[in-house]
Structure 1
Amino acid sequence: MDLKETDILGANIGQHWYYRSKANAMTRLLSGVSPLAILDIGAGSGFFSKKLLSDTMAKEAWCVDISYECDSDALEAGKPVHFRKSVDKVNADLVLLMDVLEHVDDDVGLLKDYVTKVPSGARFLISVPAFQFLWSGHDVFLEHKRRYRLKQMEDVVRQAGLTVKHGAYYFGAVFPIAAAIRLVSNFVQRGRYKAQSQLSQHHPFINETLAAMSFAELPLFVPNRLAGLTVFDVAEKS
């Protein structure tokens, strides 16, 4: 989760359709999984790990982000949240990498490094932006290195030493709209991408409409290996 987006949405991040929907997708993919300790890599504000602390039996979360000014601790639903610039070994049974791997040159290396920091049996939940042809000024603004196809993401997961449990695309319902807008915009810009976030505070009607479209997609989300704006992968350290 990028702190640049947190700065844009502020305290309303939990109401924004994109983050609400991504949290719903996370919950759906983790159905039947009961984590006790969460390691949240590139956590930003810790939105996703805080959601799990509030809604599950998880007892603590370690939020890691090199953008933090200093180490600190807080509480969420009465449970400890440890904000750290880096960590060594962590006894976590769930590792989150929500929109992280697209930011680094060596995605396999970063993932492999964190595989060594957690015990065997730990689950990994990973999300990345989908399809390179959707590259835009938004990616430039967020300092992305690439976008992924599902199979490409699964290859990265395997190279890092993890076993792929499930992969899927999400935001398939809004995919045609977003793809059309980006392709037209990219044609007009002729490859001269302006670094500019496309994330904004929408009118309540638009926000709720997009949230409803994404919510309606959830029953079809898990088997969706066709198209979407985000790739999700669930993997396990054997």
Structure 2
Amino acid sequence: MQDVVHNEHLEQDHWWFRARRSIFTRVLDEQLPGGRAPRILDLGPGSGVNLPILAPRGRVTALDLSDVSLARCRAAGDNDQVLADATVAPFKSNTFDLVCALDVLEHIDDDRAALVQIERVLRPGGLFLFSVPAFGFLWGRQDVLSHHKRRYAKSELRQRVTATGLEIEHLTYFNTLLFPPIAAVRVLMRPMLERSVAKGGSDLSVKLPLGLDQVLYQSFACERGWVTRHSLPFGVSMLGWARKRADAGDAGGAAASANGSAR
């Protein structure tokens, strides 16, 4: 994943990233089975923003097209990086117990090909955890600066994941409490989008009044107890997880497996 946000301290300390990690942690606590340490593939890891919640659970492999991103992951303590395209993942089939694509699919031109590879490299019964930005009408400056290709409709995302043979267990919107103000700002700013993009600067780098960041964190993170069990009707983003069928073979086919190599 190539994103406008490349500040490691921002990714670790910003209320938005912290709230998301708290939600992802709850999902992994409930959905990732215990026992042996799983093999984990982190697609588009940025600067290793989710490494603190993944590394304690098993052996993490980071895959990214950016060598800068992978260097930051090494600095964060990840010693297994692969410089490659997610649409031609260089792994043998049935390799990973968990694949994470957390705000990654929207960066990939051919997200369908990436999803086929995700299904292929997952072991039977393996877990795919994913999040994406929701609702096309929310398209704004951050999408442009972050090089997003799209924001997703729920039906579209469900169809693309299930088309690979993966079985979705849960799919919900999240970041729901903050949806109204974010939606209002995005819609009102649309006529000024080109000028706003030209000015640069991430929305996440805006300095907030003292204490407001904690209010925003709590407003977002409080959803973690709900979204793991229930579906929210709308939100800025979508969160879901799917599994590879326990009896699944190599759905990627011979052409996909020809790209694989032992790791």
Q: TM-score range by the shorter chain?
A: 0.7 to 0.9
Q: TM-score, normalised by structure 1?
A: 0.86
Larger Rg: 2
Report the CA distance between 1:211 and its aligned residue. 0.2
| Identical amino acids, percent of aligned pairs | 30
Look up the match of 1:199. 204
Look up the match of 1:17. 15
Unaligned runs of 5+ in 2: 85-89, 246-263
1-structure distance, mates of 2:70, 2:183 = 39
Is 1:140–1:193's contact at 8 Å kept on the other side of the alignment? no
Look up the match of 1:136. 140
Superposition pairs for residues 126-165 of structure 1, below 5 Å? 126-165=130-169
Cα RMSD, aligned residues only: 2.5
Look up the match of 1:100. 104
Is 2:176–2:234's contact at 8 Å kept on the other side of the alignment? yes
Matching of residue 110 in structure 1 with residue 114 in structure 2: yes
Superposition pairs for residues 184-223 of structure 1, below 5 Å? 184-186=188-190, 188-189=191-192, 194=197, 196=200, 197-200=202-205, 202-203=207-208, 204-222=210-228, 223=230
Look up the match of 1:233. 240
Q: Compared with structure 1, are the counterparts of its residues 141 and 12 closer, same or farther at alpha carbon in structure 2 (3 Å cutoff)? A: closer
Report the CA distance between 1:192 and its aligned residue. 6.9
Look up the match of 2:248. none
Unaligned runs of 5+ in 1: none
Report the CA distance between 1:22 and its aligned residue. 0.8
Matching of residue 47 in structure 1 with residue 49 in structure 2: yes
CA offsets per residue over residues 17-66 of structure 1, 9 Å max, x none? 11111111112222332362210011122221332223xxx221000001
Q: TM-score, normalised by structure 2?
A: 0.78
Higher relative contact order (CA 8 A, sep 6+): 2
Equivalent residues, number: 230
1-structure distance, mates of 2:70, 2:197 = 34
Report the CA distance between 1:116 and its aligned residue. 1.3
2-structure distance, mates of 1:190, 1:76 = 35
Q: Compared with structure 1, are the counterparts of its residues 50 and 215 closer, same or farther at alpha carbon in structure 2 (3 Å cutoff)? A: closer
Is 1:101–1:107's contact at 8 Å kept on the other side of the alignment? yes
Higher alpha-carbon deviation: 84-93 or 139-148: 84-93
2-structure distance, mates of 1:217, 1:159 = 29
